[in-house]
Amino acid sequence: MIIKSINLETVCGITSKLPQNQLPEVAFAGKSNVGKSSLINALMNRKSYARVSAQPGKTQTINYYNINDELYYVDLPGYGYAKVTESVKEQWGAMIERYLHTSKQLKLVFLLIDIRHKPSKNDVMMYDWIVHNGYYPVIIATKSDKLKRSQLSKHLKEIRQELSLNKETPVFPFSSLSKQGREEIWDFIEEVVMP
């Protein structure tokens, strides 16, 4: 994908009305600190347009990045950050649910999982929840540079098992350092969103 223009067009807080966009949307979900901002930056060919957080779990917003006036990347708030209050967790759930329910243009949901660790309870819950809302998330296994090549397939298999993925569900290993996986993810987005 050639990135010609990017624009952080809409930032929605808890009480904001969500935009009814005309362009297709690709959403990114994952626990805080999983590398979501870094992935979105890599997919936008930018170093730090999406904020890479020193303070995980702080931002509870849904950010819509207009890409080339062709599609949106939708950055969903990260979950599972222990230090936020219960009420923030509830608001977070309500926001994501509202997004999954109301977006008419959502074509693809990526769920990010840290390749080093077994998917957490929250990851499994998130996966099931997205499925419950009518979407089949595609997995991006982040921080692949942290593993030796020889360990990759074992960890990918474990992610598949824990989430009970079927064979057809793609799992893309990705590293924002080496950019491993970026081309494959772009190609996949283009296939799904701009056939």
Using CB under 6 A as the criterion, which residues of the chain lie in contact with ligand GDP when the complex forms?
30, 32-38, 52-53, 56, 78, 142-143, 145-146, 175-177
The least distance separating ligand GDP from the CB of residue 90, rounded to whole angstroms, comes to 20
Give whichever of 10 and 142 is closer to ligand GDP, judged by the CB atom. 142
The least distance separating ligand GDP from the CB of residue 173, rounded to whole angstroms, comes to 10
Give whichever of 33 and 60 is closer to ligand GDP, judged by the CB atom. 33
**Strands of 71-75's sheet, edge to edge?**
6-12, 62-67, 71-75, 25-30, 106-114, 138-142, 171-173
Using alpha carbons, select from 71, 68, 60 the residue that is nearest to residue 26. Answer: 71
Give whichever of 132 and 146 is closer to ligand GDP, judged by the CB atom. 146
The least distance separating ligand GDP from the CB of residue 135, rounded to whole angstroms, comes to 20
**Residue 145 exposed, middle or buried by CB count within 10 Å (0-12, 13-18, 19+):** middle
Give whichever of 146 and 157 is closer to ligand GDP, judged by the CB atom. 146
Helices (H), 14-85: 36-43
The least distance separating ligand GDP from the CB of residue 20, rounded to whole angstroms, comes to 26
Hey, what are 78's tokens? 């990260």
Give whichever of 107 and 182 is closer to ligand GDP, judged by the CB atom. 182
- Residue 157, classed as helix, strand or coil, is helix
The least distance separating ligand GDP from the CB of residue 21, rounded to whole angstroms, comes to 22
Tell me how far apart the alpha carbons of residues 173 and 18 are, in angstroms, rounded to a whole number.
Answer: 31
